[in-house]
Structures are given as C-alpha cells and as structure tokens.
Amino acid sequence: MSTTIPGQYDNAAHNDAGPHGGGQSAAAFTRVPPQDLDAEQSVIGALLLSGSPGSTSRFFAEILETGLVAGEYYRPAHQTIHRAVCDLHTAGEPVDAITVADALARRGELARIGGAPYLHTCVQAVPTAANGPHYAEIVRAKAYRRAVIESAQRIVEFAYSEAGDEGEVRDLVERQLTEIVAGIPGLHEAPPAVGDLYLDFVADLEDVQDGRQIGLTYGFADLDTITSGMRPGNVTVVGAASGVGKSTFALNAAVAAAKTGAPVMFSSLEMSATELMQKIAAAEGRIALHHLTHQGGLTQEGWETVRRLGPDLFQALPLRVYRPDGAALGDIAAAARACARDGGLALLVVDYLQLVEVEQSRSITREQAVASVSRGLKNLSVQLDCHVLALSQLNDDGLMRESRAIKNDASIVIKVERPDMDEPESPRAGEVDLVIEKNRFGPTARVTVAAQLHYSRFVDMAHT
C-alpha cells in the first residue's frame, strides 16, 4: 500500500470511514476495513489520462461503465476528485489534471484533496489508462466488502441493544441480507435527470403504441389491454364478498403470470398448500374440483391428467406457495425477500389483506392496522421491484373494508361481482364482472369473464 498519499488518516480512529459514513464507534474499526488505495489512485489517474477526446477516451467510458461511483472510494479525497471528474464530463468539458484542478479550486476543495500536485501524482501512479476498468473493479470489490461489514455491524449492534422485538430483528436481518445480495447496501446515487430517462420512456412508449405487453398478464385479454398488465413497483387490490371467487381469480392470475416464466409467490392465509395445488390441478387439467377433494372421485383418466401435470406444468412453473405459521406482515415480507434472492420475484400475491397482522399498540384502530399492512405491501413492491396482487374482503354493503388506505396505496382496484350470487336464475348466470374502479394506467371499465368454478377458474368469454 502507498504510504505517501497526502491527507492520509488513522483508519482505526476515523469515524467516517467507508462509502457511507455513519458515526460508528472507534471499536468498530479495530481492523482496517478492506481498501486498496493504490487501485484508487490508478483509477483517478486513468480517468485524468483518458478524459479528453483522443485515442484513449474509450477507456474513460469503460471505467464509468463498471458502475463505479464516488461513494465507493475509501479515501474521501478520491471521492471528491471523482465527483469533479464526472461533473466536467457531464458538462461536455475535457477532463485532465489541469481542468479538474481548476474545477476543484472553484469549489474551494483543491486544498482538501492535497492540491494540484496530488492530481499529477495520481496520473503518474497508473501504468496505462487501458487498465483503468480493471482497477475500478478492484475499488468496487473493496467497497462491497466494506458495505457487507457495515451491514453485519448494524445487525450486531441492533441485537446487542435489545431494542425491538424478535420480528423487528428478523426484518432488519432480512433487509440487510437482501441488500448485500443485490449490491452495495445503503449506497445511493443522485436521482436520474429526465434527460437520462428519455430513451427508456421512448422504448416504453413504443411498447404501448405497438400493443406489446408491458406488465405481467392477469390471464384475461381485455383486463390486460385496459390496465397494461401488472407492472413492477405497483399494487393491484382485488375486492370481493366471501364466496364470489377472489382467491380463484388471484390463483388464476398467479399461474398465468408464472406460465410466462415470471417468478411468483402466492401467500395464502386461508388455504393450505394442498388446497392450492388442488385448485391449480382442477383449473389446468379441467378436472372437477370435487373429484380431487373426495374419496374415489378421480377416474383413471383423471389420474392420467394429474400425472401429466407433474412434468408438463408443476415442475416447470416458477410458482412458490407460502403459508406462514402466523399471519404477520413481517413473515410475508421475509419470505418475499428470500424469493427475490433465490431466483427473483416478479409477482407477490397476498390472500388476503384483512387477515394480515402488524405489530400494533392498544391505541391503534383496526383501520390504521390495515392501512399499515397496505402501506407495507406497497413499500415491498417498490423495494423488490415486483407487483403485488392483494385481495380484500368486501362488506355486505359492497364496500371494501378499511377501504380508504387500501385504495390510496393501490394503482389498480378491481371488484369481483357475480350477478348470479343472489339470483341463481339470472340470465347472466355463469358470468363474472371484473369492475375496474381505479386504474392509474387507463380508464375504469367493466370486464366480463366466464366462471367455471367447478374447475376453479375464470376464463375469457371467447374461451367458453
């Protein structure tokens, strides 16, 4: 390691080491955190050598394409220099030791990094700008290790503090582990400017105009057209009275999405894994559900269908079924994060909202408790970049229980209605209305599908 870098400090006593700062005690740094100051100098030197138009300018782009950001340098001076380099580059200005020194001087930061001579020291430290991307990867790897240490330290300190209950400890551990697997925990960049978002916006717009599916399919053509499917980071709430078929709708949608290859987790607080498997087998094999649930109900043909569904469907379907021991939101969130780490998660189905429990004090109302669950699922959809399909019970008057918060957090609200529930001889017997009461991505509407509840499924009217 270089020992001649200006401004070097005693890491054992420095309370702001690492890419994230954080006032941790000196005891947390009895060992020097992973870092490579030579590699950091070489990255800075390579950027200064290749930042102006010329034959080496491609190395500048290759360094930035590694994803390296200022916060990943161990030494604060290098973070400051990197930010100045990126600002000049974004402004279309040439990047070299002279221009960067001038930019730092205008900011009043030149002396803090060791003055203009230190920039030339960095240039001299790098053998060739072509190695810059390799040095950048070394810097990122060291930053990742430091971040892992910091996450572990947070877990240890929280456990020692005896603050919170077991659920809060487990939630912290799950979040930290998920962040570690996903990348560098706690490392934030400035939000993108609209100019940076424009190309992605145009690509999405082309998909919309060309009729290509944007979100995951619900399994119903008209519903997909009106809503553009289930988009990541959003929540669909499906409300229905007891017995109408909201669980059937949700399970149909989960299977339809999984058939596209999207990883799905179905969390049921009502049905066991066996009951869910029976419903899937009935819907996909067109086997009457009561034949699967009663002794001697399966014919030889039915058994052959069940055997065929094994390799043809169940073993290929990226669908996980989870029934928590309790009904806590933290348990569902922990299972969802585990799925995200193990193969990804595109859709989380929760059946149903009013059964999910949150830690609550005596002063909290039931409506506030459900609002907390609703907000927690919304946050989870954003954190895991997945879609959440949450079911909600309706009151006898057709209103969603504790509806205000649920509707506020949802991007799409669908009410399931069966005209023949109260009128068996209705001319619309066998029909189901999917009433879209809220739709951030299009109009409200009423989509009619067919109910084949003996097969535990809804289907498009065209498929009846």
Q: Give residue limits of the domains in the chain.
A: 26-190, 212-463
Query: What pLDDT, on the 0 to 100 scale, is given for residue 14?
Result: 39
What is this structure's pTM?
Answer: 0.62
Please determine, for residue 361, whether its predicted confidence score (pLDDT) is greater than 90: no
Per this entry, what is the length of the chain? Answer: 464
**Which whole number is the average pLDDT over 281-307?**
89
Q: Select from 3.40.50.300, 3.10.105.10, 3.40.630.30, 3.20.20.70 the CATH code of 212-463.
A: 3.40.50.300
Give the number of C-alpha atoms closer than 13 A to the C-alpha of residue 403, restricted to the C-beta side: 16
Mapping DSSP to helix (H, G, I), strand (E, B) and coil, where does residue 1 land? coil
The rounded percent of the chain whose pLDDT value lies above 90 is 36
| Residues 6 or more apart in contact with residue 254 via CB below 8 angstroms | 264, 266, 319, 347, 349, 389
Domains 26-190 and 212-463 share a fold: no
pLDDT interval class at 30 (50, 70, 90) = low
Strand 387-393 vs strand 347-351: parallel, antiparallel, or unpaired? parallel
Does the 26-190 domain belong in CATH 3.40.50.10330? no
pLDDT digits (tens, 9 = 90+) for 115-164: 999 999 999 988 888 889 899 999 998 998 888 888 888 888 888 887 77
Backbone angles phi, psi at 190, to 5 degrees: -65, 145
